[in-house]
Amino acid sequence: MKSKYLVCGAGGFIGGHLVASLLNDGHEVVCADIKPLEYWFQIFDECKNYSLDLKEFDNCLKITEGVNYIYNMACNMGGMGFIENNKAECMLSVLINTNLLRSCLKNNVSRYFFSSSACVYNQDKQKDTFVDGLKEDFAYPAMPEDGYGWEKLFSERMCRHFYEDFGLETRVARYHNVYGTFGTYSGGREKAPAALCRKIITAKKNKEKSIDVWGDGEQTRSFMYIDDCIIGTKKLFESNCRKVLNIGSEEQVSINQMIKKIEEISDYKVNKNYQLDKPKGVRGRNSDNNLIRRELNWDTKTSLLEGLKITYVWIEKHISSNTNNNKFTKKY
């Protein structure tokens, strides 16, 4: 009998790419997202697609019926500007994870995946510009990103205890700044790679000489291309590893360095208008992939420059054609 997968958050960026990959593997996939279908980033006619609020237990109970495996990518999140100004909204996503886990027990789901975040890490480990990679045990003692990070850390613990108390097989990955095609690039929820690509594309198109940059541009991150993310996610899900694992890149760059890469791609130089009063997050963050290399023999394959080239071309195409831009830019 064919296994049935449920992808929650299927209308979003990572969820849409995951659905495409699962379908390519020949699986039956059910898709759920709070957004109306017309605002899903990718939609697949061969799936059963549901627009519903997974913070409601009855909806979770309904959507998990007859499902073998669940990937939970659903949460209320965005870039730094969004999560710093919507802490309560971000924390309400704990209801999604809690109600899905409860529904797994009711409907005998075999395995459950939760998408956590590098925002769970203790902020004292992220005060310098270029930092050593964050090892998985650096999440404790707990001092995560306020709001969003606390929700992710609590939900990780819920997954752990549902395995310990009820025997539900759970898998948890901490994502580090995923970027790529078929994601938002404007409207307030976009992350740095998409935002900076859009700013430089727009500046070039309008012959503008400068772009706004949040902070001084020296804050650092590592950014993982979506294809690497999906491969790592599926590898963890299908494995026997019950440890929480980083899934991210170890190629740490400053925002200024990333701007230089995008300038190279666009063949267009810009001046930077630094906005020091804007949300900046921690000073430096990088993934440590030693544990996932040992456990799963996984690592990223796409360099930041390679991934940015693909992302830049995709955003440029959508800005130039003005086709279906609303679904990628709408504040929802």
Indicate whether 239 and 106 sit together in one domain: yes
Q: What does the pLDDT read at residue 331? A: 52
In the chain, pLDDT over 90 holds for what percent of residues? 90
DSSP 286-299: -B--HHHHHHH---
Q: Is residue 90 over pLDDT 80?
A: yes
> Quick one: pLDDT band at residue 83, thresholds 50, 70, 90?
confident
Q: What is the mean pLDDT of residues 74-86?
A: 84
Indicate whether 209 and 122 sit together in one domain: no
Q: What does the pLDDT read at residue 140? A: 97
Q: What is the mean pLDDT of residues 278-302?
A: 96
* Alpha helices for 136-191 (secondary structure H): 148-166
CB 201 within 8 A of CB 186: no
Indicate whether 174 and 277 sit together in one domain: no
Q: Is 121 a catalytic residue?
A: no
**Does residue 27 belong to any structural domain of this protein?**
yes
> Quick one: pLDDT band at residue 77, thresholds 50, 70, 90?
confident
> Quick one: pLDDT band at residue 328, thresholds 50, 70, 90?
low
Cα distance between residue 232 and residue 21, in whole Å = 12
Q: Is residue 97 over pLDDT 70?
A: yes
How many distinct structural domains can be found in the chain? 2
Closest by CA to 269, choosing from 259, 277, 278, 279, is 259
Closest by CA to 123, choosing from 14, 239, 282, is 282
Residue 142's identity, in one-letter code, is A
Q: Is residue 78 over pLDDT 80?
A: no
Indicate whether 216 and 232 sit together in one domain: no
Indicate whether 39 and 110 sit together in one domain: yes
Indicate whether 121 and 234 sit together in one domain: yes
> Quick one: pLDDT band at residue 80, thresholds 50, 70, 90?
confident
Domain that holds residue 161: 4-179+225-247
Q: What is the mean pLDDT of residues 44-50?
A: 97
**Does residue 70 belong to any structural domain of this protein?**
yes
Indicate whether 215 and 164 sit together in one domain: no
Indicate whether 116 and 130 sit together in one domain: yes
Indicate whether 154 and 261 sit together in one domain: no
Closest by CA to 300, choosing from 222, 228, 252, is 228
**Does residue 291 belong to any structural domain of this protein?**
no
**Does residue 212 belong to any structural domain of this protein?**
yes
**Does residue 257 belong to any structural domain of this protein?**
yes
Q: Which of 50, 69, 148, 225 is catalytic?
A: 148
Q: Is residue 188 over pLDDT 90?
A: no
Q: Is residue 187 over pLDDT 80?
A: yes
Indicate whether 137 and 268 sit together in one domain: no
CATH of the domain at 175: 3.40.50.720
Indicate whether 67 and 137 sit together in one domain: yes
pLDDT tens per residue across span 98-152: 999 999 999 999 999 999 999 999 999 999 999 999 999 999 999 999 999 999 9
Q: What is the mean pLDDT of residues 244-272?
A: 98
Partners of residue 164 on adjacent β-strands: none
Q: What does the pLDDT read at residue 323? A: 58
Read off the tokens for 53. Answer: 């609020």
Q: What is the mean pLDDT of residues 262-268?
A: 98
CATH of the domain at 306: 3.90.25.10
Q: Is residue 62 over pLDDT 60?
A: yes
Q: What is the mean pLDDT of residues 254-259?
A: 98
DSSP 48-80: EEEE--TTSHHHHHHHTTT-SEEEE------SH
Q: What does the pLDDT read at residue 1? A: 55
Indicate whether 8 and 73 sit together in one domain: yes
**Does residue 86 belong to any structural domain of this protein?**
yes
In the chain, pLDDT over 70 holds for what percent of residues? 97
**Does residue 313 belong to any structural domain of this protein?**
yes
> Quick one: pLDDT band at residue 332, thresholds 50, 70, 90?
very low
**Does residue 296 belong to any structural domain of this protein?**
no
Query: Full-prediction pTM beyond 0.75?
Result: yes
